[in-house]
Structure 1
Amino acid sequence: MALTSERADAAGIRRRPGAPAGRTVSMRSRERRRTVGLGIVAWIIGLIFFGPIVWMLLTSLHSETTAATNPPSLFAPLTLSSYANFFGAASGASPWPPLINSISMSIGSTAIVLILSIPAAYALAIRPVRKWSDVMFFFLTTKMLPMVAGLLPVYLIAKSLGLLDTVGLMIIIYTSMNLPIAVWMMRSFFAEIPLEVIEAAQVDGAGLLLTFRRIIVPLSSPGIIATALICFIFSWNELLFASVLTSTTSYTAPVFLTSFVTSEGLFLSKVCAASIAISLPVLAAGFAAQDKLVQGLSLGAIK
């Protein structure tokens, strides 16, 4: 009886005074079954979300004839011909110009977003301006308008200024799209910084720039990295504005991906291979910053 009670205490289960030891063991068993059940559910949900990616990868490794069979042949011979066709420009267009355009637009817009959002978030969180809640609501309202509703005005303005089919125009578009959400995210990260730390630095004689560089940026670096990665992903995956505002010289990787869908012939394996190849930069960036991303997105959560 005493040994059972010690095991229950070691497991973190406190037996109520007067409760029998058998009930304590039953509670521990139910807690264990609950943990195992939640783990199984988590694995099932993960497989559901990861399954289409695995399916797309397998399809890209099959020939076009095998990929088009119904039902699909899972044990068909694997081949890298679709990837060779993609990188070898067998379709008649090289994938490197759109990939370079997407990288330039995504990195350029993300850098500008960070340069603009960090001071704005600092002013709204640590040194709040008057009616800062109205300012935040204004940023939020810019995301309420559907993107397609602003497509025609943007096209007419860009045409009148001679900016159609340019990388600079897309950087401006992506910056305006990602700036509101970046300000919202950065403000929540800056709001977690204790004001006592900033006040102590100011008492020691540190100015605004020194405090910002030595205190604020290091403490909020996970949030900054998370914001940068999300803005990069949004810019990389954008298709609507890129398909309308670019044509021959500045078209992006998602626009190039749509060219593989044709009305004649088989294209499923090529589309899957192109999708995997185009997704690799985003996957690599997410994998490299996964620790900072999880830490940054968890800031402000109730622990």
Structure 2
Amino acid sequence: MYIEQAFKSKNNAWRYVLGTVVTIVAMFAGQIPLAVAVIFKLGVTADFGTMDEATMMSALDSNLTFFFLLLSFAIGLGALLFLVKNLHRQTFTELTTSRKKIDWGRFWFSFGLIVILNVTLILVDYFFISPQDYTINFNLVPFLILAGISIVMVPLQTSFEEYLFRGYLMQGIGIKTGYRWIPLVITSVVFGGLHYWNPEVTQMGDMVMVTYIGTGFMLGIMTLMDEGLELPLGFHAANNMVAALLVTADWTAFNTESIFRDVSSPVAGWDVWISVLVIYPLILLVYAKKYNWRNWGDRLFGKVEKPEVIETYGVADIEDLSEIREDY
């Protein structure tokens, strides 16, 4: 079982608290290159106190800004994986899945499904529903640079969020509370809540938070039902990559050299519930049929129980008994 993988590692509560704090600090430290680039571009004498964030971000080329924004997540991911290996003595595979090895087929199925779904929805909206809301934004060279950045950096950004919330915190909170639903609720609400400072919320209103928190729950359900991160990793990477490459807007977190630009001024209303109550359950149903998910109640609401140690230690291992007791 996926959460129970953490029992194989050093899982003291203080390790998870320290690991979380250090990871977040590392991510914020990863924003220093962006700040330095903006200062270098505008000059140290610029009055930053009177500038809003959008003005400062516009000082740089959009592709360069995009790269620096994603860099902070990449640094956070590196810090998290370093801590998992050296602070918790946990393998990358155990953080990723309950299977003996990572199932990349699951990742690519999820990635392909969400790319097809998102591209289809956007093109249907562009050609048949709201063509007036879009303008063509395509410029070959900037777009190719954006594509290169997206292919390399977007999966690092989304992987950071998945490994931190659906991986590290899901496992840590799960083994400490003893129930599966508690880390599902906590990680989903915190994940969604952190998006409150996104420019989309400023434009569309607080109601759009339903989508962010609902997305957190959907990804968490995927993780618990499928006993691994492969499906959420593919979903998240595909979702953000399509957002970066296909459609941008002045009010989105990813303001890129995409193919289309959304020139509308949307306000979130009842329609945000369509994604959470209709589209997301249908996506979960596809995964459930594909991977034969069973025992929904137990996997989502059951207890997290420490597995019994059945391994027999030989004479050569006697010196390590103190470590064995700590681990198990």
Normalised-by-shorter TM-score class? under 0.3
Which has the higher Rg, Structure 1 or Structure 2?
1
Please give the TM-score of this superposition, normalised by the length of structure 2: 0.26
Please give the TM-score of this superposition, normalised by the length of structure 1: 0.28
